[in-house]
Amino acid sequence: MTLPLYITLPEQDVWQWTIAGNSIALRLCAGAAQAGVETIRIRGERSVASALVRACRRDWRLRSVDVAIAAAEEAPPSPRLEATADVVLSTNVWRLLLDSSGDVYVPGAEQVRRIQKGADPVPLWPEGAPPARTFAVTIRSQDDLRHARTFVFRYAKSPNSSPVARLLNERISIHISRLVADTPITPNQMTLINTLVGMAGAFAISFGTAASLAIGGILLQVTAILDCCDGELARAKVMASPLGAWIDTFGDNAIYLSYLVGIAVGYPKFAADHPVVWAPIAAPLAWSVLGLAALFIGSQFLYVRRKGLGGSMTAVSRDLRQQEQKSVLFRILDALSVLGRRAQFSLIFAIIATLPWALDNPNIYHGIFAVIVTFIALANVYLWIGMLQQRRATDETTP
């Protein structure tokens, strides 16, 4: 059972100011709920406190939280968490408070504290040295609000970004996220928009021309940028959830499968117009690639469900690397698997997909198809070798 949180509304209307589509007070409640707080009590002028309680009860992020007005006649329990609704915090501050003991306060926001015995509180962390991706800003003016907004979007970026995502995609996506953060668009809606863009690119590839392949490649890179936005919005708007992670993974896989369908439809048309040795069997080959991709995605889905992992190939690779004994082939494929991460793969594909059109060389399209066949086949080998080795290791350690 977690500690209850008592939030005091200040006399000024600062708590109603918004960051990323949330009032400061609602953001405070949602962040605490995300960290595991199950009981929230609101203190303040009754009509104003009632309005915040109603807003919390309508908010899906707080559906499992007991939110009510604090009873004036009841002494608050100890231990408990306390805060005033004029502070913007990163969610991990709540986790640190819940995991702490004794009487502590948050440096930079002394009104946010854990109360146990009512003794003089000590800093939650050494002042001037907050933990990574941690911030707390007390809002007194619009300058403070702008300062807090800077922190919110600085730490909205993924902490596990690949080099391509960090150096290219996120430099663009964070500006998009800033633009839409104050709109009603949710992270899941951004995932849907991203998926539709990806399907538009797949549809373009199905025409089977060098120009349509180039358009599809460019749109795949656009989806890689937009793919950063849903995570950034989830963190900035305090909307991260396991369901959102699965929806994001579903959208990614839907894009990959739609591109493979586009290639399965489009490549035989291209091969018929630009003959190559395997042109007569281009269609069966293309659809075999789609079958291999479906096998890979299905195996990945079953694996993450069985292991309780996040729904991504990155999570699968990270888990497979933890096994002690690895074959040489697995080590080689694991080193190459970084190319299959969304940011790297989309950028590489976008570049090479434009080459047949830019250089007016149809043989490059044939080469791209051969690379795709090889890549998907190796991805299946990598996943199955990793799972078999893990199963063997488990059998050896089981008495």
Q: What is the DSSP string of 293-317?
A: HHHHHHHHHHHHHHHT--SSHHHHH
Where b means 16+ CB within 10 Å and e means fewer, 238-267 reads bbbeeebbbbbbebbbbbbbbbbbbbbbbb
Question: What residues are paired with 105 via a beta bridge?
Answer: 113, 123
Binning the chain into helix, strand and coil, the percentages to the nearest 5 are 65, 10, 25
**Residue ending a domain, choose from 154, 171, 206:** 154
CATH of the domain at 287: 1.20.120.1760
Q: Which two tokens stand for residue 272?
A: 């018929």
Task: Say whether both 20 and 49 belong to one domain.
Answer: yes
The Cβ of residue 68 has, within 10 Å, a number of other Cβ atoms equal to: 14
CATH of the domain at 31: 3.90.550.10
The C-alpha R_g of the chain, in whole angstroms, comes to: 26
The Cβ of residue 98 has, within 10 Å, a number of other Cβ atoms equal to: 16
pLDDT (0 to 100) of residue 272: 87
Task: Say whether both 150 and 233 belong to one domain.
Answer: no
Task: Say whether both 107 and 129 belong to one domain.
Answer: yes
Task: Say whether both 60 and 124 belong to one domain.
Answer: yes
**Residue ending a domain, choose from 119, 154, 189:** 154
Task: Say whether both 226 and 329 belong to one domain.
Answer: yes
Task: Say whether both 122 and 171 belong to one domain.
Answer: no
Q: Which two tokens stand for residue 27?
A: 């953001």
Task: Say whether both 105 and 175 belong to one domain.
Answer: no
Query: C-alpha 267: how far from its chain's center?
Result: 33
**Residue ending a domain, choose from 102, 136, 154:** 154
State the pLDDT confidence band at 334, using cuts at 50, 70 and 90.
low
Using alpha carbons, select from 12, 27, 10, 65 the residue that is nearest to residue 182.
Answer: 27
Q: How many domains does the chain have?
A: 2
Encode pLDDT of 180-209 as tens digits. 999 999 999 999 999 999 999 999 999 999
Task: Say whether both 215 and 130 belong to one domain.
Answer: no
pTM of the model: 0.85
Task: Say whether both 277 and 181 belong to one domain.
Answer: yes
Task: Say whether both 148 and 168 belong to one domain.
Answer: no
Encode pLDDT of 236-291 as tens digits. 999 988 888 888 888 888 998 899 899 989 988 998 888 887 777 888 888 888 88
What is the domain range of residue 244?
163-397
Task: Say whether both 258 and 374 belong to one domain.
Answer: yes
Task: Say whether both 137 and 21 belong to one domain.
Answer: yes
Encode pLDDT of 209-225 as tens digits. 999 999 999 999 999 99
Task: Provide the mean pLDDT of the chain.
Answer: 87
Encode pLDDT of 120-142 as tens digits. 899 999 877 889 999 999 999 99
